[in-house]
Structure 1
């Protein structure tokens, strides 16, 4: 008897989506809130800009290392237990950030937090892949990716308010409080996720990691993730400086820009996810890539520009970037075999973290700042981003063809005729 096509979420599935989105919100906010606190930390801890840069990048690199170190073990345990273990470590690390008295204490706390927080995203993606068929994953990813927009709209303004009213420690303690509630809900209501344990091989963790790293179809997925992260992260580090010094945005207008962009992404993210399920993940990825290329070339070549035009261009740019991320994430979940999902997602997450850190580093070599603060060579940076986006589109086409053939050969996994 054929399986009835599934297109609506059950009550439990809605809970899973909501809890994973909220969990992702805490992880993203913990990472993003640090940059706006920079000017406070430079003063309170009496540190240099390079020392602050170490604090920011320490999380990304320790998160990348943790993903690689744990990837071999990722498919050996119940996903719920794995999630709780690493989320507890994340909460402890964030709490240590919230009580850090010195620079070196904070640096160590960020490394500790990254070791645990950097693995959670891959576990979440493995859970989504285990629980949801391919024809629903675009919508799920759309809701989970709302965490980024929510942190921009709600988390960062609230975090900055707490930092000004109390101390720079307060935003981290707020995140801990919210994370405790999320953790209790996971303990109480999430069911064990262990179906993958029934199809485990006898390979040890290191053999499992080695086999995952050596499969050609997995390697092309990792290559696509590398370029996907590179194209996405290169514009971020100097975006604010470029906006203020080159485009003529006043610092007081930055919250308005971020707020409007974030609200628009809250609206567009679920729509993009639904669209990718309806018309196909790769089609949405191509559309997002085209929008990203056009908006990047325009945005990176602007002079002093009225705020409303910058807002429109910024929203369109983020629509393109978000469209790429949601559709690529949903498509990538279909690449690994069930027994390899945890390892694949762990390695993929690590590569994304490390590639993002290297992209920010590369951007620093491309652009330069004059004595007046003007950012030079930003158009060159935009050209590099566009080149990365175009190459990624070719890599994602190969993945699209592989996943299409795989799902057609295993109709039980596809549930309905796949739109990828």
Structure 2
């Protein structure tokens, strides 16, 4: 299905995603340790998570004005080097305040990486094969869960919480060297004159495109519901379900192992049966673990691991058709800027959701996390909103019903 060159490119992009995902994911299992060591409450821990996503959202918005004006490789290197340095800075942070600042710095660069990766995949892989390509990229989440997070926790337990950030930052810098020498220039999108449009035309073009606005609303709903739950997943499993901190890596390893097989399979299903249909069923099934996890009490280890593995498969799986759907609403000449706006919306929605979740969830006198079911109901509600919006998104490539860019319409 993919040529040798395409396979190499997808492997590099998946490696970048792997680094970015590990950097973000490691905060969750380190939550109980950081809350104990810094003597912080759930709200303050929520700020550690939302600071990354908030600044990632702002940088994604700013990047939308210039990403389509430069070679994709140059942009990729700039932001990945910045991300790597920011990750090292997290590892060197001596206290809560400096860690909070370093997480924001990492978010400035890391927030653009996701949109860059998606833009490169969308430029290099045709729409008809893009679901499969997105499935390959999504295996980076699997590997992050199986190898990245457990190894990071091993480093944290063997040394301290600083070690995983320093190790990840240094290995990411080595990957930058590989990209510099091995990845070819990617400037096909610069052909023509669309990339020379004035900066604010980027925003007005998206604002006047009803199809792309729907894509933004859709992705915002998906991320808002998801990140009401995610920051407190590990703390809740320790405080409410009875897992020990040393057992948390098992959740990521087993969940990631299942997604290695499920992500490529779901990608192929999205290409075969349609992105809309696969997202619909994935979103509906995700409602089950949303409710179960947020209402979970003391449970046997095998029950917790089974629930979390199911959650990893369905929540990650629905993002494959969702991302392919949204990427198909933009043409190659404008895709970098549009995907940066998508990333901005994703990150800001995640930041707001994490912040609100931190206000709702509290620690009881017995150490349990209270009011966690409330954020579960919020996640369920926003999933239904996303399902409704997904049915109204059309592709402008691949022979879809909107194969011609929609004419500008008044903003509603």
Query: Fold conserved (TM > 0.5)?
Result: yes
- Mapped partners of 1:176, 1:411: distance in 2: 42
- Mapped partners of 2:36, 2:308: distance in 1: 31
**CA apart distance, 1:41:** 4.7
Q: What secondary structure is seen at the aligned counterpart in 2 of 1:268?
A: helix
Q: 1:159 aligns with which of 144, 152, 160?
A: 152
- Mapped partners of 1:369, 1:109: distance in 2: 26
Segments of structure 1 that go 5 or more residues without pairing to the other structure are 1-7, 414-420
- Mapped partners of 1:92, 1:266: distance in 2: 29
Where does residue 104 of structure 2 map in the other structure?
A: 111
Where does residue 381 of structure 1 map in the other structure?
A: 375
Contact 2:236-2:369 at 8 Å conserved across structures: yes
Where does residue 403 of structure 1 map in the other structure?
A: 395
Q: What secondary structure is seen at the aligned counterpart in 2 of 1:336?
A: coil
- Mapped partners of 1:374, 1:166: distance in 2: 28
Aligned pair in 2 of structure 1 residues 198, 170: CA closer, same or farther (>3 Å)? same
Contact 2:46-2:355 at 8 Å conserved across structures: no
TM-score, length-scaled by structure 2? 0.89
Contact 1:269-1:322 at 8 Å conserved across structures: yes
- Mapped partners of 2:78, 2:44: distance in 1: 30
Kindly report which structure 2 residues correspond to 1:75-90, keeping only aligned pairs within 5 A, or say none: 75-90=68-83
Q: 2:316 aligns with which of 322, 326, 340?
A: 322
Contact 1:290-1:320 at 8 Å conserved across structures: no
Aligned pair in 2 of structure 1 residues 406, 143: CA closer, same or farther (>3 Å)? closer
**CA apart distance, 1:18:** 0.5
Deviations 1:157-199 (A, max 9, x none): 2122223333433212211232123212211222211111113
**CA apart distance, 1:243:** 2.6
Aligned pair in 2 of structure 1 residues 92, 256: CA closer, same or farther (>3 Å)? closer
Deviations 1:107-162 (A, max 9, x none): 33322221111111101111011000111111111121122222222112212222
Aligned pair in 2 of structure 1 residues 44, 133: CA closer, same or farther (>3 Å)? same
**CA apart distance, 1:83:** 0.7
Where does residue 145 of structure 1 map in the other structure?
A: 138
**CA apart distance, 1:302:** 4.3
Contact 2:149-2:249 at 8 Å conserved across structures: no
Higher mean Cα deviation, 211-220 or 277-286?
A: 211-220
Where does residue 418 of structure 1 map in the other structure?
A: none
Deviations 1:227-274 (A, max 9, x none): 010121122122233333433434443332332112112221111112
Contact 1:209-1:343 at 8 Å conserved across structures: no
Contact 2:331-2:396 at 8 Å conserved across structures: no
Contact 2:328-2:397 at 8 Å conserved across structures: no
Q: What secondary structure is seen at the aligned counterpart in 2 of 1:199?
A: coil
Contact 2:56-2:108 at 8 Å conserved across structures: yes
Q: Compute the RMSD of aligned alpha carbons.
A: 2.6
